[in-house]
């Protein structure tokens, strides 16, 4: 997605060969018109998959997912990193390790919001090691639902996540695929 | 906002005189078309306030705020409850106590994303005791920016938050104001 790659090039910053800072438009300050374009692009890619729900992991995935949910006209379900004391009803949980935050958390889903008849498009902002996406997919599949697609805003293809997800048989699309990067430069797949 | 009040009545549930469960359409499963209508309503209310940024507290405020940002055509800034290890640059922080989660957290903002020339519309999903909104307003004002408005999706007017915010001089609008509630019933202001 050229618009997104251009934005990453102009407003993102590779701090080193591992960390891509995009907090100017994606995960701290958020360019919501870009998020709308991203949601529309996910719709274009997955519109024939019979999607009934969009799922995402809080918090950075919410803005692009909300725009995708608007395009698909289906509900969004936010998988929670912290179970609220207000949650009631049957909860499903799975443990996920975050390389970024260097700790594990319990990803939580209230059972009634995704059921066995759902075809879910899972959306996340980043794909690096694939822990969050694999954990989220596992949690959703506990309900009996089908993961009909996985949409990633930015993938760091030199890290194992993309390969892991494909090897597991998921239909994955990443809108900006970083082939390699280092301090001050970013190279996308196909360049 | 009648559409929202109707949704609360049909899909929300007062568990007791304190807890209003709206996880079916607002904070776990999210009705994004309703969020769009909420964003548009905030635009209608605050469009003459010269808003340059929308700010919200992660995570439940993000979906309605993203839709408001789309309507205003300005960036959204997500105040973080947990500083990422990836954050760099100058950070501002303030401590906020959450009655819901029964613990304090550090609300964090990267300085460069809100500056003294900004007129900020602060949006949150709930107003109860007002701790999150007061903390967020204080954090934003540390930058020298002006809080030009506070938009709340649902306020529990029988709790102290709304009065506290008004007493502090803020221009606040709540789209669904609960006057009182108890197990199985909800009464809005004006009914």
Instruction: Supply the DSSP symbol for A163.
Output: H
Around Cβ B101, how many Cβ atoms within 10 Å?
14
What pLDDT is recorded for position A90? 84
Q: Nearest residue on chain B to A19, judged by CA atoms?
A: B86
Are A30 and B123 in contact by the 8 Å Cβ rule? The answer is no
* ipTM of predicted assembly, 2 dp: 0.95
Contact list, A21 vs chain B (CB under 8 Å) = 86, 88
- Between the alpha carbon of residue A101 and those of residues A50, B60, B104, B141, the distances in Å are 34, 21, 19, 28
CA–CA separation, B72 and B149 (whole Å): 13
What pLDDT is recorded for position B131? 93
Do B101 and A85 lie within an 8 Å CB cutoff? yes
Do A62 and B67 lie within an 8 Å CB cutoff? no
Are B89 and B110 in contact by the 8 Å Cβ rule? The answer is yes
- Between the alpha carbon of residue A117 and those of residues A3, A53, A144, B78, B154, the distances in Å are 35, 10, 8, 34, 32
What pLDDT is recorded for position A99? 79
Do A110 and B21 lie within an 8 Å CB cutoff? no
Q: What is the CA radius of gyration of chain B?
A: 16
Which residues of B touch chain A, with CB atoms under 8 Å apart? 15, 19, 21, 23-25, 27-33, 35-36, 58-59, 62-63, 66-67, 69-70, 73, 75-78, 80, 82, 84-88, 100-102, 110, 113
Does residue B85 surpass a pLDDT of 80?
Answer: no
What pLDDT is recorded for position A101? 77
What pLDDT is recorded for position A88? 59
What pLDDT is recorded for position A36? 98
Task: Pick the residue of A42, A86, A97, A121 with the most B CBs within 10 A to test the interface with B by mutation.
Answer: A86
CA–CA separation, B33 and B40 (whole Å): 11
Do A86 and B19 lie within an 8 Å CB cutoff? yes
Contact list, B19 vs chain A (CB under 8 Å) = 86
Residues 6+ apart with CB under 8 A from B104: B95, B96, B97, B98
- Given pLDDT bands bounded at 50, 70 and 90, which one contains residue B90? confident
Do B77 and A30 lie within an 8 Å CB cutoff? yes
CA–CA separation, B49 and B150 (whole Å): 11
User: How far is the first Cα of chain A from the last one, in angstroms, to the nearest whole number?
Assistant: 13
- Given pLDDT bands bounded at 50, 70 and 90, which one contains residue B171? very high
Does residue B88 surpass a pLDDT of 70?
Answer: no
Are A138 and A115 in contact by the 8 Å Cβ rule? The answer is no
Q: Which burial class, exposed, middle or buried, applies to B116 when counting CB atoms under 10 A from its CB (0-12, 13-18, 19+)?
A: exposed
What pLDDT is recorded for position A82? 74
Contact list, A82 vs chain B (CB under 8 Å) = 101
Residues of chain A predicted below pLDDT 70? 83-89
Count of residues making up chain A: 191
Are A186 and A9 in contact by the 8 Å Cβ rule? The answer is yes
Q: b/e per residue, A55-89, with b = 16+ CB within 10 A?
A: bbbbbbbbbbbbbbbbbbebbbbbbbbeeeebbee
Element (H or E) spanning A120, and its range? strand A119-127
What pLDDT is recorded for position B68? 98
Are B96 and B135 in contact by the 8 Å Cβ rule? The answer is yes
Question: How far is the alpha carbon of B191 from chain A, nearest alpha carbon, in Å?
Answer: 27
- The pLDDT > 90 percentage for chain B reads 86
Contact list, B59 vs chain A (CB under 8 Å) = 58-59, 62, 78
What pLDDT is recorded for position A86? 55
Are B55 and B77 in contact by the 8 Å Cβ rule? The answer is yes
Around Cβ B120, how many Cβ atoms within 10 Å?
25
Our CA dihedral for A163, A168, A169, A170, rounded to 10 degrees, sits at -80
- pTM comes to 0.96
């Amino acid at each position: 997605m050229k618009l997104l790659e251009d934005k990453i090039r102009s407003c993102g910053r590779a701090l080193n060969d591992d960390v891509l800072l995009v907090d100017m438009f994606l995960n701290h300050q958020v360019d919501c018109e870009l998020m709308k374009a991203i949601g529309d692009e996910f719709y274009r890619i997955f519109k024939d998959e019979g999607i009934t729900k969009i799922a995402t992991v809080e918090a950075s995935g919410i803005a692009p997912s909300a725009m995708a949910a608007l395009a698909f006209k289906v509900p969004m379900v936010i998988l929670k990193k912290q179970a609220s004391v207000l949650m009631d009803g049957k909860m499903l949980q799975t443990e996920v390790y975050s390389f970024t935050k260097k700790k594990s958390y319990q990803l939580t889903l209230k059972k009634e919001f995704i059921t066995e008849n759902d075809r879910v498009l899972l959306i996340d902002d980043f794909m690096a090691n694939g822990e969050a996406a694999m954990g989220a997919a596992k949690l959703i599949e506990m309900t009996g639902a089908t993961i009909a697609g996985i949409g990633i805003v930015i993938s760091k293809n030199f890290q194992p996540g993309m390969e892991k997800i494909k090897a597991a048989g998921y239909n994955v699309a990443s809108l900006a695929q970083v082939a390699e990067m280092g301090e001050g430069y970013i190279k996308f797949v196909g360049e």
